[in-house]
Amino acid sequence: MPKLMSPITLRGLTLRNRTVVAPMCQYSAVDGFANDWHMVHLGRFGIGGFGLVIVEATGVLPEARISYGDLGLWKDEHIAPLARIVDFLHGQGAAAGIQLAHAGRKASTPVSWRGPDQLATEEQRRQAGYEHWVPVAPSAQSHDPDNYNFQTPAALDKEGIGRVIDGFVAAARRAEEAGFDTVEIHAAHGYLLNQFLSPLANHRTDEYGGSRENRMRLVLEIAEAVRAVWPADKPLLARLSVSDNAEGGWSVEDSVVLAGELKARGVDAIDCSSGGFAQGRIISRPGYQVPFAQAVKTGADIPTMAVGVLGDVASAEAILANGEADFIALARGALDDPNWAVHAGRELGGDYSLWPVQTRRVAEYDRVMAQARSIAAQ
């Protein structure tokens, strides 16, 4: 069996294959609530044969959202709409995950397609769920002073840090109630936990700043606290920007050390991305982040997820076969082809068993007819 299509087990969860839909922000919620858009957007990936579908960065507190359009899990009322999505994914044979997040100083930013004209009246703002607030961060420094979309945040005090930890814990409990199979702690892409990790954003002089050990403290405290309430038979993931891709920033070596500490606290796999700070740039190309997944996998002896322009099936299979990563995650590739996993299975020599029963017979018929036409043309 091709590696990409082979099952894999983390704790008590066995995924039907190694394909993952990475979290993709939709900016389509009002007051944090999932709606029909999220149901259809995520449900199609379950139909498309993916092993694990991870819900977008979901705010653990109201102020944790990247924008007013983000999903949330800061109150019990958010549970039921998410449970509906989880139930559908389970019905299609896919596992369901959710990324728990705090945007930090990158919070309270606009929804890109909704300009001032669409928010001119009170009724428009109400329908959009528009809100605006002052973000928080490890230090009172804007993500990008030259970009008016980013504010100067308020530096978190000890009470504020406690609120963040409590927010992650409470959101994890709600994720369990919604039926999710795994949660992912978001410590990447220049958001709050990445801000604490990186010298580019963390200028504190207390126990949460300065040395690498101090800068890792909040991430490790959150991982430990979430693991304590997350069921022992369910895996816990963490997403890291393995490198800030900027001079003086967080490095691959730092991530290997952090991954080892996360593993010791019960994290089961690392989702390996990169970047997120205004100072760092990297050229996006096929497989450009795979070396990060390989470095963490080898250095910390922990399963890793590769992500970043991995839509070529043969290349994805080779990454797994070569031991560079354990999972292949798609975002834009999944949007381009929500049936990528079932198509990959066929391309790698499989049958139509991964297709939903409603479409399996039609797909098999099309294959037979195409084969017949090919023979007739010879």
pLDDT at 296: 98
Q: For the chain, which domains are there?
A: 3-347 (3.20.20.70)
- In this predicted model, what pLDDT tens digit does every residue of 235-260 receive, in sequence order? 999 999 999 999 999 999 999 999 99
- Catalytic residue flag (residue 352): no
**Residue 272, both tokens:** 């390996």
Q: Check pLDDT > 70 for residue 369.
A: no
Residues constituting the chain: 378
**Residue 86, both tokens:** 């989880």
In a 13 Å sphere around the CA of 40, the CA atoms on its Cβ side amount to 4
Q: Check pLDDT > 70 for residue 7.
A: yes
Least confident of 18-32, 43-57, 133-147, 354-368: 354-368
Please give the Cα distance from 264 to 108 (Å, whole number): 34
SS3 assignment, position 241:
strand
Between 361 and 204, where is the model more confident? 204
**Backbone torsions φ then ψ of 277, nearest 5 degrees:** -105, 150
Rounded to the nearest 10 degrees, how much is the dihedral formed by the CA atoms of 213, 216, 218, 223? -120
Please give the Cα distance from 123 to 120 (Å, whole number): 9
Q: How confident is the model at residue 366 (pLDDT cuts 50, 70, 90)?
A: low
CB contact burial 238-247 (16+ within 10 A = b; e otherwise): bbbbbbbbbe
**Residue 320, both tokens:** 């797994």
Nearest to 59 by CA among 114, 133, 127, 154: 133
Please give the Cα distance from 115 to 78 (Å, whole number): 27
Q: Check pLDDT > 90 for residue 353.
A: no
Q: Check pLDDT > 80 for residue 371.
A: no
Neighbours of 121 (CB within 10 A): 9
**Backbone torsions φ then ψ of 118, nearest 5 degrees:** -85, -5
Please give the Cα distance from 199 to 215 (Å, whole number): 8
What DSSP string runs through 35-48?
-HHHHHHHHHHHHT
Percentage of residues of the chain with pLDDT beyond 70: 97
Average pLDDT over residues 299-326: 98
pLDDT at 367: 67
Q: Which amino acid is at 203?
A: H
Please give the Cα distance from 294 to 372 (Å, whole number): 44
Q: How confident is the model at residue 358 (pLDDT cuts 50, 70, 90)?
A: confident
> Judging by beta carbons within 10 Å of its beta carbon (0-12, 13-18, 19+), is residue 269 exposed, middle or buried?
buried
Average pLDDT over residues 125-144: 95
pLDDT at 351: 84
pLDDT at 281: 82
Alpha helical stretches, state H, 119-188: 122-128, 158-178
Average pLDDT over residues 131-136: 96
Average pLDDT over residues 127-138: 95
Q: Check pLDDT > 90 for residue 85.
A: yes
What residues contact residue 245 under an 8 Å CB cut-off, 6+ apart? 274, 275, 280, 281, 282
Q: Which of 27, 130, 191, 208 is catalytic?
A: 191
Average pLDDT over residues 346-364: 83
pLDDT at 95: 98
Percentage of residues of the chain with pLDDT beyond 90: 90
Q: Is the pTM of this model over 0.85?
A: yes
Nearest to 128 by CA among 143, 116, 118, 141: 118
Please give the Cα distance from 297 to 269 (Å, whole number): 9
Average pLDDT of the chain? 95
Nearest to 154 by CA among 91, 188, 108: 108
Is residue 71 within 8 A of residue 39, CB to CB? The reply is no
According to DSSP, the β-strands at 52-59 and 136-137 are unpaired
Q: How confident is the model at residue 375 (pLDDT cuts 50, 70, 90)?
A: confident
Between 368 and 133, where is the model more confident? 133
Average pLDDT over residues 42-60: 98
Alpha-carbon distances, residue 110 vs 100, 207, 306 (angstroms): 20, 33, 29
